[in-house]
Amino acid sequence: ALPAAEEWRQAVNVAQVALFYETEVGKALLTAVRQQQTVLRECNFTLSLPIAMLGTFFLGKEPEEMTEIAPLLETWQLLPEQWSTEQIFLQGAIDLAFHTEAGWVLVDYKSGWNAGLSDVVLLQKYGRQLQIYRYAIQQTLQEEVQAAYLYFTQNQRIVQVF
Predicted pLDDT of residue 78: 61
- SS3 of 102, please? coil
Burial, 112: exposed, middle or buried (Cβ in 10 Å; 0-12, 13-18, 19+)? exposed
Report d(CA 6, CA 113) in Å as an integer: 26
CB under 8 Å to 45, separation ≥6 — which residues?
Answer: 90, 91, 92, 93, 94, 136, 140
pTM of the model: 0.79
> How, if at all, do strands 145-152 and 103-110 pair?
parallel
Report d(CA 33, CA 156) in Å as an integer: 21
Predicted pLDDT of residue 154: 86
Predicted pLDDT of residue 100: 95
Predicted pLDDT of residue 61: 52
Cα four-point dihedral sign 118, 112, 26, 144: positive
Predicted pLDDT of residue 77: 63
Predicted pLDDT of residue 7: 75
SS3 content of the chain, % helix, strand, coil (to 5): 45, 30, 25
Predicted pLDDT of residue 33: 97
Q: pLDDT digit of tens for each residue in the chain (162 aa)? A: 556 777 767 777 778 888 999 999 999 999 999 999 999 999 999 988 877 776 666 655 555 555 555 665 566 666 666 666 778 888 999 999 999 999 999 999 998 888 899 999 999 899 989 999 999 999 899 999 999 999 998 889 999 999
